[in-house]
Structure 1
Amino acid sequence: MRRLLIPLTLAPIGPDAVLGGTVEVIGGRTMGTTWSVSFVPPPDRDVAHLRDLIQVELGRLNAQLSHWEPDSALCRFNRAPAGSRQPLPDALFTVLATACLIAEASGGAYDPTLGALVDLWGFGPPGPVEKPPAAEAIASALARTGWSELALDSATRSAVQPGGLQLDLSGIAKGYAVDVLSELLTAQGARNHLVEIGGELRGRGLKPNRNPWWVALEPLGLEADEIVVALHDLSVATSGDYRRALNLGGRLVGHTFDPRQGHPVETRLLGVTVIHASCMVADALATALMVLGSERGSAFARANHLACCIRSVGSEGSIDIFSPAAEHMLR
């Protein structure tokens, strides 16, 4: 069965909003994954020029946010001397500021400072490991985490490196990049578009046939209802360990970590999808809800009026739990 999620409010659509034209599709690789942009090009903009602008912007973001590029601003912060306050470039500070707000709101279920744990369990730049780390090693890595230690200062756009703190923005950077590309396209006159990076998406405006950008949510590997969302000035992000897992000594371990325990989460959740105006916010919140689990995640979504779908394993297949805000969108 197909289920539709349609936003409750729509931007005004004038008689000449989208009439005729064709959808161009371009794409490539970034942030260790793929990107694609579907858009209606304005008559005075060359598609190749827009592609070049996108590539330049993605290169700029990688140079600030990547934990895989040794010379990125993020990696330089990770190596900064203990006790130093470091000025941060615009994108890195913006993402960290949002990440810390979500970390605080979620009670630490999301944390952008898990780099040491990510590396320890074999999901970071040092590469895979053969078995789960020892308790002592986990405790040592946990001692080098903690978003509140960053002590962000908006006046100087800086953060404190207390010593050994390792940023990892893989749970929010792609969403931010989606938002940035959407704003770039809008500024270039391509107001009707769908941007995707690694499965995180943002749609704006309409297709030439005046339909919204319909996107099917990821099925997450089990027989389930097809869920399709109309991304009309909305973003969608999904978190789930189906995307990346390692076999450590016969134990399948996912890449979503509980920042409070130092272990990958062990849950019956298949994944969490969040629908939000900001893809950056949706990206981080999907991770936070994955860590919180079905019951606490549902309560958090309800209390914060989040539109989300939590998909878990039931006795006869998958179970979809829609938050009240998402239920209002169901058709």
Structure 2
Amino acid sequence: MKNKCLYYAGLAVFIMISGCDNQNQSRADSALILQGSTMGTFWRVSLADVAPERKESLQKAVQRQLDDDDRTLSTWKADSVLSRFNRYRGSEPQPVSDDMADIVTEALRIGKKTDGAMDITVGPLVNLWGFGPDKQPVKTPTQAQIEAARAKTGLSHLRVIQRAEGAYLQKDLPALYVDLSTVGEGFATDHLARLMEKEGITRYLVSVGGAVLTRGLNPQGEPWKVAIQKPTDRENAAQAVVDLQGHGISTSGSYRNYYELDGKRLSHVIDPATGAPIQHRLVSATVIATTALEADGWDTGLMVLGEEKAKALALREKLAVYLIIRQGDEFVSWMSPQFRSFVLSP
């Protein structure tokens, strides 16, 4: 789903599994690790109390499901369900899967709560600034180009319709272009969790890119530990460590997925209100929620809003949020009261 040269953008959260690589550790105390690539990023599944003999079949099942998700949600694949909807220039409702309807419904809900800061129709702007399937621009887009792209966006132009025979998406703006990459990793992570439950597995950690979800305890009978990345693209160092307690987590950051243009560092996070990459001091927003999809939606909206509005929204909606803010050459962190209960170490 995402550009392969942006693989490492999803490493804003990373997994800490104590002892699973220790050769002297008994097999019973080790996690069964599955991993691979999808949607322009990496996926990983860590399992407790699962026989090694199941590894090959589970690996294939996970990859098959993620490939199916990519064929549904990708803007990089011309034959995906989403790409076909984006090419459609009419206003008649188009049939989609229940999964597609669910992800768009959740994205529209969060978009409304964030006053449009989380906007899945911002695709024309994402492409204009070089973070989509189109090539990276060689010069900064003009204001006229930005306004032309903004005219093709807007959550109010997209609807989810539920009928007895199934779900539909409808747009009243022919050029509307939906980009689900901001929530795709969370959706896929939740999907992996459902697959594990279907397979009778109840102790697991699943992740796609920067979205993670856990259930049960790790092989040592302890919480699965997930670390929030320090805001740097030079190392995997922990800013904080959390126990998800069966929840999902996702982080959006402006410090890894970027490029330099006309002497400026441009983030992949686009503000729908300005049509340009964000320029404020907030460099990372982490959200813990009931599902990874929900966390993946909120983190993007908070990043767009910036420090003060993000704090106000987190407190108003009682969200579990952890923010990292740049102050000169230093970074400071802020967490909501709901986030504190998940923290194992600051």
Partners of 1:106 and 1:288 within 8 A in 2: yes
User: For the structure 1 residues 121 and 44, does the alpha-carbon distance in structure 2 shift closer, same or farther, using more than 3 Å as the test?
Assistant: closer
Alignment map for 1:74-113 (pairs within 5 Å): 74-113=82-121
Aligned to 1:190: 201
Aligned to 2:322: 309
Partners of 1:206 and 1:232 within 8 A in 2: no
Partners of 2:241 and 2:343 within 8 A in 1: no
Aligned to 2:213: 202
How far 1:282 sits from its partner (Å)?
0.4
1:247 aligned to 2:260? yes
User: For the structure 1 residues 50 and 330, does the alpha-carbon distance in structure 2 shift closer, same or farther, using more than 3 Å as the test?
Assistant: closer
Aligned to 2:245: 232
- Aligned residue for 2:161, secondary structure, equals coil
Report the Cα distance in structure 1 between the residues aligned to 2:49 and 2:263, rounded to whole angstroms: 50
How far 1:315 sits from its partner (Å)?
3.9
How far 1:322 sits from its partner (Å)?
0.7
How far 1:199 sits from its partner (Å)?
2.2
Alignment map for 1:248-267 (pairs within 5 Å): 248-267=261-280
1:324 aligned to 2:324? no
Report the Cα distance in structure 2 between the residues aligned to 1:189 and 1:219, rounded to whole angstroms: 35
Q: In structure 2, which of residues 33, 40, 45 is the aligned counterpart of residue 32 of structure 1?
A: 40
Report the Cα distance in structure 1 between the residues aligned to 2:48 and 2:147, rounded to whole angstroms: 51
Aligned to 2:283: 270
Report the Cα distance in structure 2 between the residues aligned to 1:68 and 1:44, rounded to whole angstroms: 35
How far 1:127 sits from its partner (Å)?
1.6
1:308-328: per-residue Cα shift (whole Å, max 9, x none)?
Answer: 111001246111011121134
Partners of 1:42 and 1:189 within 8 A in 2: no
User: For the structure 1 residues 197 and 145, does the alpha-carbon distance in structure 2 shift closer, same or farther, using more than 3 Å as the test?
Assistant: same
Aligned to 2:183: 172
Matching residue's letter, 1:114: V
Aligned to 1:8: none
Matching residue's letter, 1:58: L
1:139-172: per-residue Cα shift (whole Å, max 9, x none)?
Answer: 1111111112112212241121320111111110
Partners of 1:82 and 1:164 within 8 A in 2: no
- Aligned residue for 1:273, secondary structure, equals strand
Aligned to 1:11: none
- Aligned residue for 2:72, secondary structure, equals helix
RMSD, matched Cα: 1.9
Aligned to 1:119: 127
Matching residue's letter, 2:277: P
Matching residue's letter, 2:88: A
Aligned to 2:80: 72
How far 1:25 sits from its partner (Å)?
0.6
- Aligned residue for 2:293, secondary structure, equals helix
Partners of 1:73 and 1:89 within 8 A in 2: no
Report the Cα distance in structure 2 between the residues aligned to 1:229 and 1:184, rounded to whole angstroms: 24
Partners of 2:314 and 2:320 within 8 A in 1: yes
Report the Cα distance in structure 1 between the residues aligned to 2:74 and 2:152, rounded to whole angstroms: 19
Partners of 2:124 and 2:153 within 8 A in 1: yes
Say which is worse superposed, 244-253 or 154-163, in terms of deviation.
Answer: 154-163
Q: Normalised by the size of structure 2, how large is the TM-score?
A: 0.86
Matching residue's letter, 2:232: G
Partners of 1:24 and 1:39 within 8 A in 2: yes
Say which is worse superposed, 91-100 or 72-81, in terms of deviation.
Answer: 91-100
Partners of 2:49 and 2:219 within 8 A in 1: no
Matching residue's letter, 1:170: S
Partners of 1:64 and 1:91 within 8 A in 2: no
1:61 aligned to 2:69? yes
Partners of 2:110 and 2:118 within 8 A in 1: yes
- Aligned residue for 2:305, secondary structure, equals helix
User: For the structure 1 residues 202 and 330, does the alpha-carbon distance in structure 2 shift closer, same or farther, using more than 3 Å as the test?
Assistant: closer
Q: Normalised by the size of structure 1, how large is the TM-score?
A: 0.90
Unaligned runs of 5+ in 2: 1-26
Matching residue's letter, 2:318: H
Say which is worse superposed, 195-204 or 164-173, in terms of deviation.
Answer: 195-204
* Residues matched between the structures, number: 313
How far 1:286 sits from its partner (Å)?
0.4
Unaligned runs of 5+ in 1: 1-18
Partners of 2:69 and 2:188 within 8 A in 1: yes
How far 1:113 sits from its partner (Å)?
0.6
Report the Cα distance in structure 1 between the residues aligned to 2:30 and 2:330, rounded to whole angstroms: 40
Aligned to 1:7: none
